[in-house]
């Protein structure tokens, strides 16, 4: 994500934070920060933080949320989301994994809100933050790392997935196709969710 998108998320988040904050995979400016894996005592004690702010790195969403709620009274979650259409989650998950094979499943905002409630977290606020991205620039940040000599082929497949996406996915990605022969790249929209919850 771009710095401006991250800044928009941080601006939304900043007014909610208080006390001790544990962050992972997201920058929270002007806060005392501690990060997973950097000389921190593991496992964390119950209620050792007021807040956990994290971008999840696991497909085990319920387990992840329960662990965050064990560590802190409040949880702030940040990640890309799919639309709520049945075809969107698997398609966008496959699209994101092609670009970055370690990515876990991409869920919809509706799915995440339900998971918060199922885990015993009360959602206090949620926001959608959109970012229009240049497909080539976005892909080339990671594709050469994972695919090396197949970079061109994977880039073509990503482009095809945007252009040939089912209608509900196209509605969500809102692709902007360049004029033929212009040499410009496809642009599309990524949607990020910021969900702020507390233990019930």
164-194 pLDDT tens trace:
999 999 999 999 998 777 778 999 999 999 9
Residue ranges and CATH numbers for the domains of the chain are 3-199 (3.40.50.150)
The least confident of 1-5, 45-49, 172-176 is 1-5
Phi, psi (deg, nearest 5) at residue 135: -55, -45
CA distance linking residue 17 with residue 81, whole number of Å = 23
Q: Are the C-beta atoms of 29 and 8 separated by less than 8 Å? A: no
pTM here? 0.84
Assess whether pLDDT exceeds 90 at residue 22.
no
Tens digit of each residue's pLDDT (9 = 90 or more) over 126-167: 999 999 999 999 999 999 999 999 999 999 999 999 999 999
Instruction: Note the pLDDT of residue 129.
Output: 92
User: What token pair was written down for 60?
Assistant: 């085990």
Looking at residue 1, its pLDDT comes to: 61
What is the structure's pLDDT at 38? 47
């Amino acid at each position: 994500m771009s710095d401006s998108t991250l800044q928009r998320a941080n601006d939304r988040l900043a007014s909610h934070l208080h006390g001790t904050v544990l962050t992972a995979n997201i920058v929270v400016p002007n806060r005392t920060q501690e990060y997973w894996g950097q000389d921190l005592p593991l496992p964390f004690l119950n209620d050792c933080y007021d807040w956990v702010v994290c971008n999840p790195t696991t497909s085990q969403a319920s387990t992840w949320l329960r662990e965050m709620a064990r560590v802190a009274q409040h949880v702030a979650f940040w990640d890309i989301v799919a639309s709520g259409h049945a075809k969107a989650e698997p398609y966008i998950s496959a699209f994101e994994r092609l670009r970055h094979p370690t990515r876990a499943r991409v869920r919809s905002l509706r799915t995440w809100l339900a998971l918060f409630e199922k885990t015993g977290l009360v959602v206090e606020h949620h926001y959608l933050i959109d970012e229009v991205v240049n497909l080539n620039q976005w892909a080339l940040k990671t594709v050469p790392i994972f695919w090396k000599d197949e970079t061109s082929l994977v880039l073509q497949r990503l482009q095809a997935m945007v252009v040939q996406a089912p209608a509900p996915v196209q509605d969500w990605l809102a692709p902007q196709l360049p004029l033929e022969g212009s040499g410009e790249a496809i642009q599309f929209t990524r949607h990020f969710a910021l969900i702020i919850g507390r233990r019930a």
